[in-house]
Structure 1
Amino acid sequence: MIHDTGRHRRIAACVLAALTLTAQAPRPAPPPQVEMWVPKKTPYAAYDAPNRPWWKLADVLALHKGATDWSQAIVRNRDLVADWHQQAPGKRTAEVAYADNRTAIIVWGGHLRVTIAGHPTFVASKGFEIGVPLRVPFTLETIGDQPALWFEIHAASDLPLYPVESTSGRPGDVSGFRYERRLVSGGAGAPDATNPLYVDYYKDVVQGGARATAFVAAQHLFVNNIRGRATPTPPASNLGHFHVGYDEFWFVMEGNVDLQIEGEPLITAAAPGDVLTAKQGRWHRASFGGPVGQMGTRVAINPYPLGLHGYSVQSGGRQ
């Protein structure tokens, strides 16, 4: 990991120390389960473009073969949007902020110089998970001789805000909105114990042994690292659970994932960089695949840190 300042090295050490302490802390007991009449969407929600049960990274890259700068929409639902972005060496994104929600970024290729206002600049490479606080301007600059590739997640309602001093003229309007020069209030967000500025996942967790935890757990956005060992794929009778009011998707970070979604063929061996989605109200059950005992990580993404899970009464819950 490359750092730009001594201060940043100290902050990184503090982040790692916090992660290590978290890894040593006992996990809280799960809340009790109770039986209720739960509304399950019928018929269950369909997949509308660009949403798919399984977006393979290999297919995304093939769609943009030969291009250096591109974006690809992956998730669009009423709560969240997520896209792949690739940016050529030497280029930099416009400085933007987002009004009311954090931004989550998973870096997957090349090197990005990440500048988040009020914080030390750092360089992120594959496996960095970044949580940009709300209302804080940031830019991503590709450094080195290779394009940078990253996965970026926003609340569906968020549109970019452009700081006047770093913007040349009025930004172009978007459908239904006209950009106007105004004063804004409400204060800027900040990193905290449950929302770190970044995690170097492969260094801190895979190599360093820190516990895999959420790196964004805030209003309208939950981005949670789930890590475990590969096991034989459970039988189809194990339905898993469903969510009453929202879609859920997963970014495969390590190893591979098997996923059973109601109404879809069983997905086996989703690879790192692939994105899987279970639509609202569909039973789904994820497990880690590959050789038994191999470690895997799926990054679960949805709008609610305390989202409701509906389980089969016959199963006894928590599958």
Structure 2
Amino acid sequence: MRIATITGTACILALGGVGVASGAWSQTPAAAPPAKEKSVLAWASKPDPMLAFDKINRPVWHLADVLAKHKGQGDWAETVAINHDVIAQWISLAPGHKTKTVFYADDRVYFEVQQGSIRVTIEGQEPFVASKHFLVQVPKRLQYTLETIGNEASLRFEVRPAGEPPQYPVNETPTPVPGFKYVQAVYSGHGDYDSINRPFIDFDKQIVQGGEKIGVWLRDDHSYVTILRSPKGVPTPPDTAWGHFHANFPEFWLIIEGTQQFLVEGEKLITAQEGDLISAPTGRWHRALPSGDGPSTRLAFIPRPDNLHWMQPEVTAGGK
């Protein structure tokens, strides 16, 4: 892989007439530059040394390991990703247990149901039951409650705003949060749903069985989650093909169907199955591709839709 490095002031060079890189390596194809736009060769800032993984932000979390750690427990939570923008957790809620009514001041909360059934009650919506592979989102300042129904604990992969404690209606008792106190105050307004941001998507019924082409699960000025489904795997590219990197934020992916392969700079090739979570720190080259004979799907999580993909020059130039 031919990648130039430089220290000091960055020089920007225009490169005309170069095509856009192959969408097969892009985690968020909707954000790739339109074909009519010219690619530009520039000096991209890249952390040196590379930003490290840590105890929470790992190259891969295998769901089987998380479940083994909490075997026999009813209510539990395991943080599997945290950054400037969001915190992601696996959360188990025992049969018959119910959350307090909460809302978040300025950002959406969203989750994928992996196991069991959850009765979801969202302000302004008819209550519904979310079962395996339902994708649910709650806009800012809409009050909501979750309740496990049936005899099986529910398990959900939930993403919330980082550093933003939940808010509560006045008839609810807030759960204490270190470093904060709750006072009574008045607010107005709330987020809403639209043609992209729906209360829920039944992935199995609408996409797998019904064939709906839903590429974006969630999109606003602070969150962007895409549903990237492939009918079958592709040959594994050489380890010199890294795909792209993001200059200002990390990315993570949740596998909800089949098998996929990930190559993150500095790590060995990762083969991931349903329920596994894979991460790439800010500034690390990475690629994600379907693997195996059958269909596979990953959810790609980034903090905003209009995001920059720094591509390899030789890949952008058609392999030259």
TM-score (norm 1): 0.86
**Matching residue of 1:256:** 259
Q: CA deviation at 1:212?
A: 3.1
Partner SS state of residue 205, structure 1: helix
Partner SS state of residue 107, structure 2: coil
Partner SS state of residue 160, structure 1: coil
Measured in 1, the distance between the counterparts of 2:119 and 2:85 equals: 29
Q: CA deviation at 1:317?
A: 6.5
**Matching residue of 1:199:** 201
- Kept in 1, the 8 Å contact 2:31–2:306? The answer is no
- Kept in 2, the 8 Å contact 1:80–1:302? The answer is no
The total of aligned residue pairs comes to 286
Q: CA deviation at 1:48?
A: 1.9
Measured in 2, the distance between the counterparts of 1:244 and 1:96 equals: 34
**Matching residue of 2:213:** 211
**How do 1:155-166 residues align onto structure 2 when only pairs under 5 Å count?**
155-165=161-171
Measured in 2, the distance between the counterparts of 1:315 and 1:219 equals: 30
**How do 1:165-176 residues align onto structure 2 when only pairs under 5 Å count?**
165=171, 167-168=172-173, 171-176=174-179
**Matching residue of 1:283:** 285
Measured in 2, the distance between the counterparts of 1:184 and 1:272 equals: 40
The question of 1:183 aligning with 2:189 is answered no
The question of 1:45 aligning with 2:51 is answered yes
Q: CA deviation at 1:196?
A: 1.1
Measured in 1, the distance between the counterparts of 2:169 and 2:32 equals: 44
- Kept in 2, the 8 Å contact 1:155–1:221? The answer is no
**Matching residue of 2:228:** 226
The question of 1:101 aligning with 2:104 is answered no
Cα–Cα, structure 1 residues 89 and 172, in superposed 2: closer, same or farther, change >3 Å?
closer
TM-score (norm 2): 0.86
Measured in 2, the distance between the counterparts of 1:178 and 1:257 equals: 44
Measured in 2, the distance between the counterparts of 1:244 and 1:316 equals: 18
Partner SS state of residue 314, structure 2: coil
Partner SS state of residue 315, structure 1: helix
Cα–Cα, structure 1 residues 218 and 91, in superposed 2: closer, same or farther, change >3 Å?
same
Measured in 1, the distance between the counterparts of 2:31 and 2:246 equals: 22
Q: CA deviation at 1:34?
A: 2.1
**Matching residue of 1:143:** 149
- Kept in 1, the 8 Å contact 2:165–2:177? The answer is no
| Partner amino acid, structure 2, of 1:183 | V
* Structure 1 residues without counterparts, runs of 5 or longer: 1-26
Cα offsets for 1:117-163 (capped at 9, x unmatched): 11000000001001111100111100011111101001213220011
**Matching residue of 2:276:** 274
Cα–Cα, structure 1 residues 45 and 318, in superposed 2: closer, same or farther, change >3 Å?
farther
| Partner amino acid, structure 2, of 1:286 | A
**How do 1:4-153 residues align onto structure 2 when only pairs under 5 Å count?**
30-31=33-34, 32=37, 33-153=39-159
**Matching residue of 2:20:** none
Cα offsets for 1:29-60 (capped at 9, x unmatched): 94233222221121111112211110000000
Measured in 2, the distance between the counterparts of 1:273 and 1:267 equals: 14
Q: CA deviation at 1:173?
A: 3.5
Flag as ranges the 4+ runs of structure 1 deviating above 6 A: none
| Partner amino acid, structure 2, of 1:282 | R
Measured in 2, the distance between the counterparts of 1:307 and 1:317 equals: 21
**How do 1:287-306 residues align onto structure 2 when only pairs under 5 Å count?**
287-291=289-293, 294-306=294-306
The question of 1:313 aligning with 2:313 is answered yes
Partner SS state of residue 150, structure 1: strand
Measured in 2, the distance between the counterparts of 1:239 and 1:120 equals: 45
Cα offsets for 1:252-296 (capped at 9, x unmatched): 01111100000111102x1111110001100001101112xx211
